[in-house]
Amino acid sequence: MLIRMRKIFRKKPFPKEEIELLSDLEKRLKYCFKNLFLLKQALSHKSYINENRFDTLEHYERLEFLGDAVLELGISDLLMLHFPTSREGDMSKLRASIVNETALSEVARTLDLGRYIFLGKGEEQCEGREKNSLLADALEAVLGAVYQDSDFNTIFKIIKRLFMPVIELATKEDINRDYKTKLQEEVQNLYKVAPQYRLVKEEGPDHDKTFEVHLFISGKKAGQGQGKSKKQAEQNAAQDSLEHLAEFTV
């Protein structure tokens, strides 16, 4: 199959502008394809193939299928390495928060992947380049293409570079959610009430605000927190309250 693709590529080279476009994405990926035809296939939406009636080029769905499996294995490997004491259930939840359409589309946007996708005119007019589902699918197809062009060690390095920030953020958010959940459980167990969060201050310009939240139990202040979002400020207030809950009385 690979030999046949190489023959096709030699007989029908891509236009100069396509070579430049694909080469630019290679720089973003930090990977140079041996068979550039694979990258073109990974970026070819079925609307583009249908409108142009290519005989030798498939759309990206088969590579997407492969990339989905490779990505899940890569993320699982990273979680095993970085969380050696975590339980299977916890890692499964964390992986699900990373390998989903929203997270994948955000990673795709860090590569500006929408700019490189080959779309049909109809999909182009419907702003397909901005659709989360299309971006997520294309990213998986590109990962599948890299794997098919190289080996697992190579694609694992790319997955690690692209997804470690996502893993770190997901881990941080999971820990923060646990602060609020744990406080809720502790307060209900001790006082039979729910903690109340109150926004008391917000400072700074719209693009860089800081929020301050106070937390109350039965009308009495039990903690406070600041953050760049209301949610983060509430999470920090919950952590502060948990640290002083042993000394708190209503």
Q: Catalytic residue numbers?
A: 68, 140
In whole angstroms, how large is the CA radius of gyration of the chain?
24
Residue-by-residue DSSP string for the chain: -HHHHHHHHHHSPPPHHHHHHHHHHHHHHT---SSHHHHHHHTB-HHHHHHHT-SS---THHHHHHHHHHHHHHHHHHHHHH-TT--HHHHHHHHHHHSSHHHHHHHHHHTTGGGG-B--HHHHHTTGGG-HHHHHHHHHHHHHHHHHHS-HHHHHHHHHHHHHHHHHHHHHHHHHHHHHHHHHHHHHHHHSS--EEEEEEEES-GGG-EEEEEEEETTEEEEEEEESSHHHHHHHHHHHHHHHGGG---
